Structure formats: structure tokens, C-alpha cells
Amino acid sequence: MAGSDYQRIMNTGVHSSGLAISELLRADPQEVGAWTRRWDARHIAGQVGLIVLGAGLYGGAMGWWRDPQQALYTAIKFPLIILLVTAGNGLLNSMLAPLLGLNIPFRQSLVSILMSFAIASVILGSFSPLVAFLVWNAPPIGNLAASGSTYSVIMLTHVAVIAFAGLAANVRLWGLLRESGGSRVAANRVLIAWLSINLFLGSQLSWIFRPFIGAPGLELQFFREHPLAGNFYEAVYRSMTHLLNFD
């Protein structure tokens, strides 16, 4: 599709149309680069809509194994975490970019990150019917002892799908950073910095918003009791010391 057609579609704000999504996924650096340099509330709303829909569908499929109510909770929480990470790190990410050699304004860095999350969410959304089918074929989560390796299969599937979505989104983000005037080294530095910061905040937000799948023995809740008590990294540390018998 010609660039002018792309602009026309983007200008209409019809981001949910097949063509707009296909352009987003192809993420031709020049076309998308021109788009990220502009600030348009409709475009932003379209990206947010894709995140809510895509990540919401995947979250629903993820939580459905435990209970339909858990599916609803996870469908709300999953996109919420993505949006909170984008908003929470927006300022820091935009400050790091010029410091690491990529001189782009705040708006462009925010839109670029939002776009990469939208790509990941669309990919996750496309896999949600397959994950739902997998969950439908799995023994009930309450019967984990009998389900044998099912739990591992489902967990590994989630890891593989989310990793693939994240990888594909970041490859496109990297191409966009290169197009934005940065050298290869600067693009690498900015991408690694953004990834690290987003991962750091995202892990803690995921800890606060747990559960996503829902443990069979525990009550169905939107938040666990005292969600702000402790943090993700403390829990990882405790698990490691327990595993290694240091305490």
C-alpha cells in the first residue's frame, strides 16, 4: 500500500480495520516513523483500543482455566498493566533516549512504546482463540494432581506466546528507533534501557495485580490480600534462598 493510502487510513482513525492493523504489524520504519512523529489523539486512542482488546482477549483466555470470573478479572488486569507501564515509564523513557544518543521528543518516545505494546497486544489477541482451545481441552485446574503435565504445557504455552509477541514487537521498535535518526549502537542502547525499565516496573505491577491464572486452592479475587505487601523481587529472592536451603 502506498504511504499516502496509509496516511489516509490513519487519518480516519479506523485503527481496528484490517488494513490499519496489517500496516502496524508490518511496521515499515519509514511509514510508521512518520506517524510516530505526529501527535494525534485519535491515533493514540486507536493504539490504546488495540491494547485493551488484544491483551484483554488473551487475559480472558488465560484466566478462563480457573473460572469465568477469573477470566474477566484477568481480561481487565492484563491490558491495565501494559497501559500503566507505558504511562509510568513514559517520562523516564523519554529522558533516557536523548541521553543514550537518540534525540527524539517525549511524544515520539511515548507513541513508539505504545505502538510496540499495541503490536504485542494484537499478536496476543490473535493467539487468544488458540489458548482458549488449549484451556478447553485441559483438565480442570482444581484437579492438578490428575492433570499431570497439563499445567506445565499451559504455562509453557503462555511463556512461548508472550515471548513471541514481545520479541516481534521489540524487533519492530528497534527498526523504528533506527529510523528515528539513531545509529545502530544508539538504537541498541535505547531499546535495552527501555526494555529494562519496562520489565522492572512491569514485574512489580504484575506482582501487585496477581493472580492472573488463579491458584485452585485460593479464593477468587481481583487482588490478593494486601497486594502492596512485599514486592516481586523479594519474592524471587525468598524463593531462591528457599530452593538453595540458605534459610
Partner 1 sequence: MDAMNTPPPQVPPQIPPSPLAHPAWVPLGENPEERTPIPNAVVAIEALLRQPRRVMYQLRQPGAGRLIGGMLIVSIVCSLIYGVVVGSFSMHEQLWTAPVKVAGGLLFAAVICLPSLYIFACLSGSRARLSEIIGLVSGLLALMTILLIGFAPVAWLFSQSTQSANWMGTLHLLFWGIATLFGLRFLESGFSHSQARSNAGLNTWIIIFVLVVLQMTTALRPIVGRSSDLLPTTKKFFVTHWADSLKVDSSETRQ
Distance, in Å, from the CA atom of 230 to the CA atom of 232, rounded to the nearest integer, reads 7
Are 157 and 134 within 8 A, CB to CB? yes
Least Cβ distance, residue 163 to partner 1 (angstroms): 13
Q: What residues make contact with partner 1 under the rule CB under 8 A?
A: 1, 18-19, 21-22, 25-26, 122-123, 125-130, 132-133, 136-140, 150, 153, 168
The smaller minimum CB distance to partner 1, of residues 22 and 196, is found at 22
Q: Which of 205, 33, 64 is nearest to 134 (CA)?
A: 64
The smaller minimum CB distance to partner 1, of residues 74 and 150, is found at 150
As a residue count, the chain comes to 247
The smaller minimum CB distance to partner 1, of residues 71 and 110, is found at 71
Q: What is the DSSP string of 120-175?
A: HHHHHHHHHHHHHHHHHTSPPGGGHHHHTTHHHHHHHHHHHHHHHHHHHHHHHHHH
The smaller minimum CB distance to partner 1, of residues 168 and 208, is found at 168
The smaller minimum CB distance to partner 1, of residues 10 and 102, is found at 10
The smaller minimum CB distance to partner 1, of residues 54 and 211, is found at 54
Distance, in Å, from the CA atom of 241 to the CA atom of 232, rounded to the nearest integer, reads 14
Distance, in Å, from the CA atom of 226 to the CA atom of 234, rounded to the nearest integer, reads 15
Least Cβ distance, residue 140 to partner 1 (angstroms): 8
Least Cβ distance, residue 80 to partner 1 (angstroms): 23
The smaller minimum CB distance to partner 1, of residues 54 and 63, is found at 54
Least Cβ distance, residue 239 to partner 1 (angstroms): 29
Least Cβ distance, residue 90 to partner 1 (angstroms): 26
Distance, in Å, from the CA atom of 212 to the CA atom of 222, rounded to the nearest integer, reads 9
Distance, in Å, from the CA atom of 167 to the CA atom of 12, rounded to the nearest integer, reads 29
Least Cβ distance, residue 23 to partner 1 (angstroms): 8
Least Cβ distance, residue 149 to partner 1 (angstroms): 9
Contacts of 158 (CB under 8 A, 6+ apart): 62, 131
Quick one: cell of 137?
481441552
Contacts of 23 (CB under 8 A, 6+ apart): 1, 6, 9, 10, 31, 32
